[in-house]
């Protein structure tokens, strides 16, 4: 992602196409926002994700789910809101009072609000069932799954705070039919209402080259403050929030594709370019590295380390000694045995008949 950001805007909403995984990486087929948008405002045009500005209602439902923060609304900053949440008296998040649709938040935001505020946070989801933005049920189920993920993470940290839910009351299921009837009218009212209630937080402006999503920077900094009090910091099990990688030394050709294409720089070369570092705090689990690696040398690994995440500690996954190939004289990553590079070795194998014939001449 370079300095030129291609931004599409509706009145309230902006989509930075150059931060979109799907648009920037041929092998990535992220569809999170397409599936979430209640108005179907995202379309694939010439294989690129494109926002149809006139269809976007700026509801913010998709925003928290974009792994790279390519989606934003102008009037509400979920990172700023989560960072300053501890100063708020009321610990309830409600689209009717202080926030847009709770889809604006991600797991990182919920965790930051609970950890920094040192208190439980309540999400008022009592309007979801009747909300026109939740017509297909996708938005509410995603919000609930983020809350569940946050709670299991908070449990892992052994802190007492949780993200609580206030769910719909029974009679609201009936009201859903009424809402459906006047869809367009109600939609207009709801959107206006949510916009009117959006609290203005400090406007955030990402640097175009900020590769690590700000929500992860926030979480990392919040963990830094509490990690000293956590009993266990190293975990064996898989986490939906933090990802881990391993590289098979024998299979890796040190081609550098994974470090070049990792969208957040979670994988990066060592200063001598003969090894690869991996940072758990930066990895968003997009899977691009695994898809792009031709010899399939890089793979997911279970477990995560809180200290590594909190202090952005990187681990060296692989390191090579570079030696000169005895055939072509080019440097190559040496893995033992004959000092002959892969290219020369496969050339000798593929054309073995020719060499045998040449010997007989």
Work out the number of other CB atoms within 10 angstroms of the CB of residue 267.
25
- Site residues for ligand SF4, 287-326, by CB under 6 A, read 287-289, 293, 295, 297-298
Q: How far is the CB of 179 from ligand SF4 (least distance, A)?
A: 27
Q: Which is nearer to ligand SF4, 143 or 267 (CB)?
A: 267
Cα 96 to Cα 9, 166, 220, 253, distances in angstroms: 25, 13, 30, 55
Question: CA-to-CA distance for 214 and 205, rounded, in angstroms?
Answer: 10
Q: How far is the CB of 331 from ligand SF4 (least distance, A)?
A: 15
Q: Quick check: 60 binds ligand SF4 (CB under 6 A)?
A: no
Q: Quick check: 267 binds ligand SF4 (CB under 6 A)?
A: yes
Work out the number of other CB atoms within 10 angstroms of the CB of residue 38.
20
Q: Which is nearer to ligand SF4, 14 or 194 (CB)?
A: 14
Q: Which is nearer to ligand SF4, 121 or 298 (CB)?
A: 298
Q: Quick check: 35 binds ligand SF4 (CB under 6 A)?
A: no
Q: Which is nearer to ligand SF4, 25 or 179 (CB)?
A: 25
Strand (E) or helix (H) holding 302: none
Residue 275: CB partners within 8 Å, gap ≥ 6?
269, 316, 317, 318, 319, 320
In terms of DSSP bridges, do strands 163-166 and 298-301 run parallel, antiparallel, or are they unpaired?
A: unpaired
Dig out the tokens for 294 from the structure.
Answer: 């031709």
Q: How far is the CB of 215 from ligand SF4 (least distance, A)?
A: 13
Q: Quick check: 222 binds ligand SF4 (CB under 6 A)?
A: no
Dig out the tokens for 214 from the structure.
Answer: 């700000």
Contact 324, 290 (CB under 8 A): no
- Residue corresponding to tokens 């005895």: 326
Of residues 161, 132, 149, 11, the one with CA closest to residue 61: 132
Q: How many residues does the chain have?
A: 361
Q: Quick check: 30 binds ligand SF4 (CB under 6 A)?
A: yes
Dig out the tokens for 320 from the structure.
Answer: 């090579």
Q: How far is the CB of 187 from ligand SF4 (least distance, A)?
A: 22
Question: CA-to-CA distance for 335 and 252, rounded, in angstroms?
Answer: 10
Which position among 40, 137, 182, 256 is part of the footprint of ligand SF4 (CB under 6 A)?
256
Which position among 257, 305, 312, 315 is part of the footprint of ligand SF4 (CB under 6 A)?
257
> What Rg value do the Cα atoms of the chain yield, rounded?
25
Q: How far is the CB of 160 from ligand SF4 (least distance, A)?
A: 31
Work out the number of other CB atoms within 10 angstroms of the CB of residue 95.
26
74-82, 127-135, 150-158, 260-268 -> range binding ligand SF4 (CB under 6 A): 260-268
Q: Which is nearer to ligand SF4, 134 or 280 (CB)?
A: 280
Work out the number of other CB atoms within 10 angstroms of the CB of residue 178.
10
Q: Quick check: 285 binds ligand SF4 (CB under 6 A)?
A: yes
- Site residues for ligand SF4, 62-121, by CB under 6 A, read 66-68, 70-71
What b-and-e string marks burial along 207-220, b requiring 16 or more CB atoms within 10 Å of the CB?
eeeebbbbbbbbbb
Q: Quick check: 131 binds ligand SF4 (CB under 6 A)?
A: no
27-35, 193-201, 222-230, 347-355 -> range binding ligand SF4 (CB under 6 A): 27-35
109-117, 174-182, 218-226, 252-260 -> range binding ligand SF4 (CB under 6 A): 252-260
Q: Quick check: 217 binds ligand SF4 (CB under 6 A)?
A: no
Q: Which is nearer to ligand SF4, 223 or 297 (CB)?
A: 297
Q: Could you list the residues that contact ligand SF4 (CB under 6 A)? A: 20-22, 30, 32-33, 49, 66-68, 70-71, 243, 245, 247, 252-258, 262-264, 266-267, 283-289, 293, 295, 297-298
């Amino acid at each position: 992602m370079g300095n030129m950001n291609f931004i599409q805007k509706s009145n309230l909403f902006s989509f930075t196409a150059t931060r979109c995984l799907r648009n920037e990486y041929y092998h990535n087929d992220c569809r999170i926002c397409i599936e979430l948008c209640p108005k179907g405002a995202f379309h694939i045009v010439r294989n690129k994700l494109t926002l149809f500005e006139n269809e976007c209602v700026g509801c913010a439902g998709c925003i928290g789910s974009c792994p790279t923060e390519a989606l934003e609304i102008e009037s509400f900053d979920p990172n700023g809101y989560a960072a300053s949440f501890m100063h708020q008296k009321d610990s309830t998040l409600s689209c009717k009072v202080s926030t847009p649709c709770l889809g604006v938040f991600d797991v990182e935001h919920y965790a930051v609000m609970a950890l920094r505020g040192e208190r439980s946070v309540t999400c008022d989801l009592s309007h979801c069932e009747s909300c026109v933005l939740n017509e297909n049920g996708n938005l509410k189920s995603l919000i609930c799954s983020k809350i569940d993920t946050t709670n299991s993470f908070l449990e892992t940290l052994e802190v007492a705070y949780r993200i609580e839910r206030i769910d719909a009351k029974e009679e609201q299921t009936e009201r859903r039919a009424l809402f459906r009837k006047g869809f367009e009218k109600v939609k207009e009212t709801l959107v206006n209402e949510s916009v009117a209630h959006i609290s203005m937080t400090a406007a955030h402006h990402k640097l175009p080259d900020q590769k690590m999503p700000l929500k992860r920077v926030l979480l990392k900094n919040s963990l830094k403050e509490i990690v000293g009090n956590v009993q266990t910091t190293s975990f064996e099990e898989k986490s939906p929030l933090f990802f881990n990688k391993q590289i098979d030394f024998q299979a890796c050709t040190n081609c550098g594709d994974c470090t070049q294409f990792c969208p957040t720089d979670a994988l990066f070369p060592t200063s001598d370019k003969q090894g690869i570092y991996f940072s758990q705090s930066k990895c968003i689990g997009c899977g691009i590295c695994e898809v792009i690696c031709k010899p399939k040398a890089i793979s997911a690994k279970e477990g995560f380390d809180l200290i590594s995440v909190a202090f952005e500690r990187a681990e060296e996954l692989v390191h090579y000694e570079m030696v000169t190939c005895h055939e072509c004289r080019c440097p190559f990553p040496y893995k033992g045995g004959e000092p002959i590079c892969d290219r020369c070795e496969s050339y000798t194998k593929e054309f073995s008949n020719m060499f045998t014939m040449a010997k007989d001449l």
